[in-house]
Amino acid sequence: MLRTARLGVGIIGAGRVGPVIGAALAGAGHALTGITAGSDRDRVEAVLPGVPVLAADEILRRSELVVIAVPTEQLEGLVGGLAEVGAWQPGQLVVHTDAAFGTGVLAPAAARGAIPLAIHPAIAFTGTSMDLRQLTNAFAAVTAPGPVLPIAQALAVELGCEPIVVAEEDRAAYAEAIATATAFSRSIVGQAAGLLARAGIPEPGLYLSSLVHSTVDHALAEAGGATGEVPPVDQ
């Protein structure tokens, strides 16, 4: 199994994803240097108790690995802004978790010597410790320059995921697939639950649970048969 050395890890982004990624890496033996402020400090504290809240540039100064988990529309500006103030360090690992981008969005950091990596765990994050269990049954899309691809794969393994390499030019199609599966699933379940509620069925979400899970399992099995078997998760 690929492994990385013990690293000082800083998290930029205190939404649903960043704290969970931090907790998973801490569980793999890395040391957390800090996390940026978020609107729900109680939730973050529940996942990462005692981790210092720091400004983004201070996190870069203290960390060997920086994880960026911010909304898609903020990622490019954040990376570029930190480059403009000279915050990125040569040899520093920088990982973003956005499905929509490969490593191109990290070019301003790479131009200053940072090592760009893209890792997207394919789960629906809740921002709670429950996500740590989800990660152990998940795949993660990894994109990185060839010489450092093993580092991205090792970090995905340390999150608990099975790494799957996605080429830079394929990230847009990958992101579309993820968005389609997520939005369609939520929409259809929501519509069905609404119809059941109008039909007088109590707790429609609970009523649908077994049906939806078994239907999705069958659909996934059929998808695997159509395109080649999905490899098992090796834990």
| pLDDT tens readout for residues 62-98 | 999 999 999 999 999 999 999 999 999 999 999 999 9
Paired strand residues for 41: none
- In this prediction, residue 226 has a pLDDT band, given cuts at 50, 70 and 90, of low
Q: What is the pTM of this model?
A: 0.86
Average pLDDT over residues 103-123: 98
Residue type, 3: R
User: How far is the C-alpha of 208 from the C-alpha of 206, rounded, in Å?
Assistant: 5
CA distance 116 to 127: 25
How far apart are alpha carbons 222 and 235 in whole angstroms? 24
Contact call for residues 2 and 150 (beta carbons, < 8 A)? yes
Q: For residues 170-187, give the mean pLDDT.
A: 92
Q: Within the chain, how many helices (H) and strands (E) appear?
A: 9, 7
| Structural tokens at position 10 | 């800083």
Contact between 38 and 15 (Cβ < 8 Å):
yes
State how far the Cα of 10 lies from the Cα of 94, in Å rounded to an integer: 10
DSSP type of residue 52: P
- Whether residue 15 has pLDDT greater than 80: yes
CA distance 204 to 212: 12
**Which residues have a Cβ under 8 Å from the Cβ of 184 and sit 6 or more positions away?**
none
CA distance 182 to 120: 14
Residue 203 DSSP code: S
CA distance 118 to 103: 6
State the pLDDT at residue 1.
Answer: 42
